[in-house]
Amino acid sequence: MTLIAVVKEECETCRLIVPVLAHLQSALGLEIHAQDNPDFPKSLQVTDDTELKYSWQQRIETVPTLIRLDDAGNELERTFGWDRAAWESMTSEKLDFELPAFRPGCGSMTQDPGMPEKLAARYDMEKLQARQLTIASEEDEMEACFDRGWSDGLPVVPPTPERVMRMLTGTHRDPAEVIGVVPPDLIPCTIEKVAINAVLAGCKPEYLPVVITAVEAALQDEFCMHGLLATTYYSGPMVIVNGPLGRAIGMNSRGNALGQGNRANATIGRALQLVIRNVGGGKPGGVDRSVFGNPGKYTFCFAEDETNSCWESLAVEKGFTGEDSTVTLFAADGLQGIVDQKSREPDSLCRSFAAGLRVAGHPKMVLASDAILVVSPEHERVFRLAGWSKQQVKDQIMELLMIPGEELVRGAGGIAEGLPEQFRDKTLPKFREGGFNIVRAGGSAGMFSAIIAGWGASGSTGSTPVTRRIALT
């Protein structure tokens, strides 16, 4: 049997039990590891652990900690703080000293602010496989990130080993796990690479599971990330988060949810874009050939406002439970506002929505772009008071968007753009089956809603929205 105690001189409890440590070292050969002073306790044999390597490897969180090992070095049990009964049980010694029966310990130095990341980077570097680059002492870190092409045009956070290790505390998944290949260069993407780009984007560790899930969604064949990059259209990936995790990490689903000001919204979407850029090589002027792009290609991420909603969430519509946390990825254009401050009846408001949706892509474009209608709480109230379900709203809007072919063919309305003449006598829906969805978000004041149209190649010929559950273990 081997007994080990980890202590620090700064801890009052450690100083209090020095007589116990001396007795156990004399009687049982207790090994003592000191975190802050290799001469503490004086006159005893002490192992210097001021570099905290042993404490880190043994996961010491409180001092004093007493550990009992078997002859093969396997841990049998441990206790922390001073608890006379526990120490006597572990050592089979009568520790009848003039001490209180119990005294709590102090925090281990491994838990000091910033120390876990430093120690992880120092002693767990084998977990990191990415090539490390050395920045010259005269080189500005921020400018170095720009010079190496890691930025989307805005400043990024330099991904030091300490920051990457801190980011990886946000997940239990193996940093070496490959979650897919990232287009356009089809480079294998590991959890570590996602964490690096999450650092660059400015994420907190608790955001990492959302970022990982967003990347996994983007790499699904049905999302068609390569095509989305290569198209000359406007679109880029948009992230919608549902469930309790979004609320727990402070995502914004209300006022200015689609704008600036919320760290989680801003950095989660940005991290996804940086993964595509830095891992897959998807950079503007390369495979990314968009004519205009849109501001959402920096970041486009928000949470659905599920609190007090009278409708089921997007995730529940997709077959998940209200307790699941999910990410939905959508190939999105920019934002188109819908202003209707007069409608107090569902049919009138649906007609406003339908009129706005009719122009998505082009008034004559049908069965092409998907669309998401973001309904504000004030507009939702119109449907709530009338007892309309979300499905009723969708059905009514889809019915209003059954368009006569004579309005869609080339030349109709004096517009050369349009469908071939063979469609003149048909009636066609604006959106494909499943291509129109509704979410609730936005501020509590203002009778405004928003249309987010999708890539003109939506559905089986292009991109289909992908919803994935966020894995927390």
**297-324: pLDDT as tens digits:** 999 999 999 998 999 999 999 999 999 9
Say whether pLDDT at 5 is over 80.
yes
Q: Would you say residue 158 has pLDDT above 90? A: yes
Q: What is the pLDDT of residues 321-371, one digit of tens each?
A: 999 999 999 999 999 999 999 999 999 999 999 999 999 999 999 999 999
Has residue 175 got a pLDDT over 80?
A: yes
Average pLDDT, the chain: 95
Give the DSSP letter of residue 290.
-
List of residues 6+ apart from 329 with CB closer than 8 A: 214, 217, 218, 223, 237, 238, 239, 240, 465, 466, 467
**Tell me, what's the pLDDT at 120?**
85
Q: DSSP of 5-26, one letter per residue? A: EEE-TT-HHHHHTHHHHHHHHH
Rounded to 10°, the helix 377-386/346-358 angle is 130
In which band, very low, low, confident or very high, does the pLDDT at 107 lie, cut at 50, 70 and 90?
Answer: very high
Domain architecture of the chain: domains with CATH: 2-111 (3.40.30.10), 143-469 (no CATH)
Task: Identify the pLDDT of residue 136.
Answer: 74
What is the band of 138 on the pLDDT scale with cuts at 50, 70, 90? confident
pLDDT number for residue 16:
97
pTM over 0.75: yes
- Give the per-residue pLDDT at 112: 95
